Amino acid sequence: MSNVWLGHKMLRSLVFVFVFFCLTNCQIPPFVEECVDNAYPPPESHKVPTYVVNLDLPPAQRWTHVVKDRGPQIKKLLDEFKSFSSDIFNGSQAVINFIDKEGPAFDQTLPQPFADEMRGIANATGLKLGEVVFFNVFYEFFTVCTSIVARDVQGSLYHARNLDFGLFLGWDIKNNTWSVTELLRPMVIIVDFQKGGETVFKSVNFAGYIGILTAIKPKLFTLTMNERFSKDGGYIGLMEWILGERSGQWMGFLTRQVMETATGYLEAKVLVTNKEMLAPAYFILGGNKTSGLYKQGCVITRARERAIDVWDMESANGWYILETNYDHWSTPLFLDDRRTPAHHCMGNMTQQGVSIKGLHNVLSSRPVLNKLTTYTALMQVDSGHLEAWLQYCPEPCIPW
């Protein structure tokens, strides 16, 4: 049985479940498109807390203070995913058995220092090592996002994103919400990675996840990752890794290495363009130059083996570039067109409105904001500023 066949079978199963839920269980609201101008600042209760992770510590000790009280939250989240996996595979316990029994051995295949960091998280939370490992890889497959890099009229670059997560993962009929999305919101944190008491970079993470989806290296560059849907997707890469084909890198570990080691936008751009990965993705990069020959903002469209397109801000719009989860040269899925409303709101805001407040308003406008949105992150590279806010979408709201 080929890996490609297995990957396609899983994709078909997910689509079937999604359509089935939407037709039978979801309360589908009327479509709402809006451009709000009063969403910032959000309530203080929505502000995401910050933790320091000391990279000078041994890897197994770095996350203890962050996760020591988070074990029950992570466990509940994984139990939800296990339940969903069993339903997808007609009651089969294969995925659950792999997580519980084979996960510790799987950990041996992962690069350092990440393997030791996950061992430390397992010790601090009381979770099985296999569960911690799995918690750190499933973000490769279910992350549906909107990312924007924009230049204000003074030439300063801002980078903002919504992280939407939980599609297909447990529809709550009673509350009309996605179960995993609701479980993830309380786990959102800002992490200040430091060496010698100085910030190396800052990121927005889910507590217990050690990779990077949203980050800023102050004064140098910003980076976000959006999932790219592809028939040669992350499931195939995961199965190949399990079967011993390990030429590619985990996306979250690659981005972590980039944030720790890259000395600027151009070096980061080369690394995320050329490194082979287990899953396709979009990398959205912002730099610190907005004039001359090297205006720094781009979307890198990745196949697993390499980049297939590098789309620079100047050719996109001139003052901003925007990516959701579809190739910029193709049409979004009609059920998931967040791109067109986001462009509408950017045009409504104009370049004069580019700011932390302006971009937060764009990302708080439905359907860019939706039931899957866990947080909005807002970054300004020159000042090294990063803030993040939990997001909640009022009804009517999709999906679905």
pLDDT tens, position by position, 73-86:
998 988 887 776 65
Exposed e or buried b for every residue in 301-320, given b needs 16+ CB within 10 A?
bbbbeeeeeebebeebbebb
Per cent of the chain over pLDDT 70 is 80
User: So what's the pLDDT on residue 279?
Assistant: 85
pLDDT in tens, 278-327: 889 999 999 998 766 567 999 999 998 999 999 999 899 889 999 999 99
- The tally of CA atoms less than 13 A away on the side-chain side of residue 117 is 24
For the beta carbon of residue 345, count every other beta carbon within 10 angstroms: 25
Pull the structure tokens for residue 57: 């510590």
Residue 158 has pLDDT above 80, yes or no: yes
Distances, alpha carbon 362 to alpha carbons 108, 157, 166, 228, 396, in Å: 43, 16, 22, 22, 18
What is the Cα–Cα distance from 74 to 82, expressed in whole angstroms? 12
Q: Of 81 and 130, which is predicted with more confidence?
A: 130
User: So what's the pLDDT on residue 88?
Assistant: 55
Res. 249 pLDDT band, cuts 50 70 90: confident
Alpha helix stretches (DSSP H) within 220-278 = 234-242, 251-261, 265-274
What number is the average pLDDT over the span 143-148?
90
What is the Cα–Cα distance from 151 to 168, expressed in whole angstroms? 35
- The amino acid present at 114, given as its one-letter code, is F
For the beta carbon of residue 108, count every other beta carbon within 10 angstroms: 8
What is the Cα–Cα distance from 200 to 192, expressed in whole angstroms? 8
Q: Of 216 and 137, which is predicted with more confidence?
A: 216
User: So what's the pLDDT on residue 330?
Assistant: 96
Residue 170 has pLDDT above 80, yes or no: no
Least confident of 137-151, 325-339, 379-393: 137-151
What is the Cα–Cα distance from 10 to 85, expressed in whole angstroms? 10
Res. 264 pLDDT band, cuts 50 70 90: very high
SS3 162: strand
Q: Strands (DSSP E) along the chain, which ranges?
A: 50-54, 143-151, 157-165, 171-172, 177-178, 188-195, 198-206, 214-217, 221-227, 281-286, 297-302, 307-312, 320-323, 373-380, 385-390
User: So what's the pLDDT on residue 7?
Assistant: 40
What is the Cα–Cα distance from 134 to 138, expressed in whole angstroms? 6
What number is the average pLDDT over the span 101-112?
72
- The amino acid present at 398, given as its one-letter code, is I
For the chain, the structural domain boundaries read 10-49+143-390, 56-135
Res. 233 pLDDT band, cuts 50 70 90: low
What number is the average pLDDT over the span 122-139?
88
Q: Mention every residue, 6+ apart, whose C-beta is less than 8 A from residue 116.
A: 58, 59, 60
What number is the average pLDDT over the span 98-123?
81
Least confident of 234-243, 376-385, 391-400: 234-243
What is the Cα–Cα distance from 390 to 46, expressed in whole angstroms? 5
What is the Cα–Cα distance from 159 to 224, expressed in whole angstroms? 9
Res. 229 pLDDT band, cuts 50 70 90: confident
pLDDT in tens, 370-390: 999 999 999 999 999 999 999
Res. 135 pLDDT band, cuts 50 70 90: confident
Residue 240 has pLDDT above 60, yes or no: yes
175 with 252: CB under 8 angstroms?
no
Distances, alpha carbon 1 to alpha carbons 5, 9, 28, 98, in Å: 7, 11, 38, 19
What is the Cα–Cα distance from 369 to 350, expressed in whole angstroms? 19
What number is the average pLDDT over the span 260-276?
96
Residue 194 has pLDDT above 70, yes or no: yes
Res. 121 pLDDT band, cuts 50 70 90: very high
For the beta carbon of residue 126, count every other beta carbon within 10 angstroms: 10
User: So what's the pLDDT on residue 1?
Assistant: 35
* Overall CATH class of domain 10-49+143-390: alpha beta
Pull the structure tokens for residue 346: 């950017």
Report field, pTM of the whole predicted structure over 0.95: no
Residues with catalytic roles: 145
pLDDT in tens, 36-92: 999 999 999 999 999 999 999 999 999 999 999 999 999 898 888 777 665 555 544
Strand 373-380 relative to strand 385-390, pairing = antiparallel
User: So what's the pLDDT on residue 142?
Assistant: 66
